Amino acid sequence: GGAYFENFLSKPFVERGLEPRNPYLQRSFCCRFQVDLGEVLRVSNTGSVFGNASGVGSIGVISINFNRLGWIHRGNRERLLEHLRDILEKARSVLNKKREFIENHKQLYPTFFYYMKDLSTLFNTISLQGGHEGLINFGFAEYDENGRVVEERSGLFHPEGLAFAREVADFILTTLEGFMREDGIPWNFEYAPGETAGPKLAKKDLEFFRSVSEGRYDRYRLYRDYWMKSIDGVPPYVKGSVDGSGVFLTAGFQPPYDASSLTRQLEVSSHTQRFATGGSIQHIFLNEKPDKYAARDFVRRIFERLPIIYITLTPTMSVCNSCSAKVVGEYTECPHCGSEDTVIYSRVIGYYRPIARKVKRIDRENFLYEGEENYWQGGRRADWVTRKKAELVDLMEAARWD
């Protein structure tokens, strides 16, 4: 696996009036799941969890499609938050029923309950998909002369959009705080990676648009009772293209990976990571192997300068099936033997997988990334072809090297 870096320096947090992070109360698992043990201890029936880091986790995750909420309730904050509250109540019911089922059928989980006496230290988790796109659909967008969204001045990159993301996150956390008090169960808010969910939800959003355009609301019970603004034939904004490799949504309120400036990505992420009490991560995709001292200094300087919590350095890997060479970077032709039979590997969102073999078409403008064999689903290949892959000069600029 790749290396993960977590920021426990006090300086960047104190300088911005934030509370420094306590390494004794933090636990990190999987690709982004993080737990503050202090949150668990606030629930009265959990007892002590110190010395038992493996005794915390999540009972289950429900992801909310914020992109669709942003499109349905464009410009209407009150109605969006009312709808969001309704969805959170439904999620509460589902996760509590799941928790009750497991507690009542412990015989089905003998290994788990050999180590755990109950579920009191496991969270109910809420996640969110399409945060950036939902903000654009809600109205935080700027357009060029051709009517196309200028992403780097829209969504999370729009000052008012970033502020509204904070408002939505605060609303979710306040609601979950109420659930925690009333139910005696720990809750948290996580930016789940959505490797498969992101593309699926983007396609579902376009299907939803076609259905409501034709007046067919019956299929959508979570949405049909809510006021629908005139759609004016304008579909919801999603990333990618149906004419390219596919469409997708970003995860949580994390900035999209295609921003041309790594510095801007990191600055926005340093704000939005703090919204997620259950974990988030900023991946930094590399297209070359940096010197080990350069990588060390980059991580140190980023952590000293920004209150960013959790990052990875994720190198792109190319493997040649002819000569077995393994090199860092995206090579459709082996730099050692010249073979075109290479496989490109990278992180989907959380885990590493091969993207494609014998890549034939790469078209960033049209969201096309096609190989003779494709392993990532279409939407994620459209995501990959637009991602910012940093080189040493980008790391130097982002860390403001002398």
Residues 252 and 371 in one domain: no
Tokens standing for 187? 């809750």
Of the pLDDT bands very low, low, confident and very high (cuts 50, 70, 90), residue 21 is confident
Residues 271 and 308 in one domain: no
Distance CA 159, CA 167 (A): 13
Q: Where are the alpha helices (DSSP H) in 7-115?
A: 11-14, 37-41, 66-72, 77-104, 110-115
**Dihedral, CA of residue 349, residue 350, residue 353 and residue 354, to nearest 10:** 20
Residues 308 and 230 in one domain: no
pLDDT digits (tens, 9 = 90+) for 259-273: 889 999 999 999 999
pLDDT at 47: 44
Residues 149 and 104 in one domain: yes
Residues 302 and 348 in one domain: yes
pLDDT greater than 50 at residue 44: no
Q: What is the mean pLDDT of residues 38-59?
A: 55
pLDDT digits (tens, 9 = 90+) for 61-78: 999 999 999 999 999 999
Of the pLDDT bands very low, low, confident and very high (cuts 50, 70, 90), residue 203 is very high
pLDDT at 231: 66
Residues 112 and 187 in one domain: yes
Contact (CB, 8 A) for 280 and 254:
yes
Distance CA 125, CA 91 (A): 9
Distance CA 285, CA 387 (A): 8
Tell me the pLDDT of the chain averaged across its residues: 88
Closest CA relative to residue 36, chosen from 24, 18, 54: 24
Residues 297 and 194 in one domain: no
Residues 85 and 194 in one domain: yes
Q: Is the residue at 90 inside a domain?
A: yes
Closest CA relative to residue 236, chosen from 158, 167, 135, 145: 135
Contact (CB, 8 A) for 190 and 126:
yes
240, 275, 310 - which closes a domain = 275
In eight-state DSSP terms, residue 257 is: T
230, 246, 275 - which closes a domain = 275
Domain that holds residue 93: 24-275
Residues 392 and 260 in one domain: no
pLDDT at 62: 96
Closest CA relative to residue 70, chosen from 138, 133, 164: 138
pLDDT at 230: 60
Contact (CB, 8 A) for 333 and 339:
yes
pLDDT digits (tens, 9 = 90+) for 315-368: 999 999 999 999 999 999 999 999 999 999 999 987 889 999 999 999 999 999
222, 250, 275 - which closes a domain = 275
Q: Where are the alpha helices (DSSP H) in 273-343?
A: 292-305
Q: Is the residue at 310 inside a domain?
A: yes
Q: Is the residue at 139 inside a domain?
A: yes
Task: Give the sign of the dihedral formed by CA 185, CA 189, CA 191, CA 194.
Answer: positive
Tally of structural domains, the chain: 2
When mean pLDDT is compared over 189-193, 259-263, 383-387, the highest value belongs to 383-387
pLDDT greater than 90 at residue 9: no
Q: What is the mean pLDDT of residues 159-170?
A: 97
pLDDT at 52: 44
pLDDT digits (tens, 9 = 90+) for 213-253: 887 877 777 776 775 656 677 899 999 999 999 999 999 99
CB atoms within 10 A of CB 193: 25
Contact (CB, 8 A) for 65 and 129:
yes
Of the pLDDT bands very low, low, confident and very high (cuts 50, 70, 90), residue 41 is low
- For 122, how many CA atoms within 13 A lie in the half-sphere containing its CB? 20
Residues 302 and 392 in one domain: yes
Q: Is the residue at 330 inside a domain?
A: yes
pLDDT at 228: 62
Q: Is the residue at 10 inside a domain?
A: no
Q: Is the residue at 66 inside a domain?
A: yes
pLDDT greater than 60 at residue 49: no
Q: Is the residue at 349 inside a domain?
A: yes
- For 335, how many CA atoms within 13 A lie in the half-sphere containing its CB? 8
Q: Is the residue at 145 inside a domain?
A: yes
Residues 38 and 186 in one domain: yes
Residues 113 and 249 in one domain: yes
Contact (CB, 8 A) for 162 and 275:
no
